[in-house]
Amino acid sequence: MANLLELKNVSKVYSRGLINTKATIALQDISLTLRENEPTILTVAGESGSGKTTLAMLLLGFTTPTTGQIIYRGKNITTLHGKQRMAFRREVQAVFQDPFAVFNPFYTVDHLLTVPIRRFKLAKSRADARNRMDEALTAVGLRPEDVLGRFPHQLSGGQRQRINVARALLLKPRLLIADEPVSMVDASLRANILETLRNLQRDHGVSIIYITHDLTTAYHISKSIIVLYRGAVMEAGDIDTVIKSPRHPYTQLLVDSIPWPNLEKRWGVQPIKARDSGASTEGCRFRSRCPMAMEICKTPPPLFRIDAHHTASCYLYAEQPQVAPDHLSELLPA
């Protein structure tokens, strides 16, 4: 089966300074495959500085990987030109975090929808364009007459974020990169947007990469998860297994810190070690904060296979068989 998207050993290093160059490894040796005919929702989770937004920027082709390749439908995205590049731009869409920052306040919201229609010549006539807009807005649960012709400041955050999803939908994408789409939206509106995203995957066959630090919403919409910490994969697998029985100490800390709206399920008692910004990048990246750190953790841990759909990069599971990094996606259920 053809692959929609393939990341081959992708790393991204940001360096700064002219003489004493300091390198920050934002993403280290990530391999990942999304198949063409199996639309899925994959969560990439991690705290700030874990490399999740770098991953989004790479996938959208806004930055280029330092090493490794990103292959979209058989073509390396850094070498796309002309028609192919236009097709890539149309088929891979993004929804960003801040629904307030993406709108130009001087235009009505129609602008955000008409520009892509014109740019990609999606409509034959004005009426056709209007129909497509109405269709996309209805699909995300908005009434076209409520939002068309309005200025961004006249709409709520939830409405704006849904217009962003509608814009993505209009272009009939194959892949949607959603970078924290609900973190700035009121809790009561989150459900609507998440449901919209899930319907997009279920009814329109769009694969979604859902980037977030919020494991609660991730749990509800996605099938599989990759947990990143400072650019490296800590744990990955089926979302139910990872959230309900996390194996890596970092994932355990994350899951422990979710404020569940449940009085019987209190926050964990495990004390939190502060993140040491100057910690070395040698070995396991979580070592300086890990309550279980051992001597062996000074060498980088490989991925260990815990079961068919669960893997963790931690020496606590060293007796398990290893997983080569480029076989990671075989463990993710579609």
The contact set with other proteins (CB under 8 A) reads 47-48, 156-159, 186-192, 194-195, 198, 213-217, 219-221, 240, 243-244, 253-254, 256-263, 265-267, 272, 274-275, 277
Closest approach of Cβ 194 to other proteins, in Å? 6
Map residue 152 onto helix, strand or coil. helix
The angle that helices 110-119 and 126-139 make with each other, rounded to 10 degrees, is 120
Closest approach of Cβ 67 to other proteins, in Å? 28
Question: By C-alpha distance, which of 2, 1, 4 is closest to 176?
Answer: 4
Q: Let me know: does 325 contact 303? Beta carbons within 8 Å.
A: yes
Map residue 306 onto helix, strand or coil. strand
**Residue the block writes with tokens 């970092």:** 250
User: Distance (Å, rounded) from C-alpha 9 to C-alpha 32?
Assistant: 8
Closest approach of Cβ 24 to other proteins, in Å? 15
Q: Where are the alpha helices (DSSP H) in 49-125?
A: 52-59, 82-91, 110-119
Q: Let me know: does 331 contact 323? Beta carbons within 8 Å.
A: yes
Closest approach of Cβ 213 to other proteins, in Å? 4
What are residue 35's DSSP bridge partners? 3
Closest approach of Cβ 210 to other proteins, in Å? 14
Q: Let me know: does 95 contact 56? Beta carbons within 8 Å.
A: no
CB-nearer residue toward other proteins: 110 or 195: 195
Closest approach of Cβ 260 to other proteins, in Å? 6
CB-nearer residue toward other proteins: 28 or 222: 222
Closest approach of Cβ 185 to other proteins, in Å? 9
CB-nearer residue toward other proteins: 90 or 289: 289
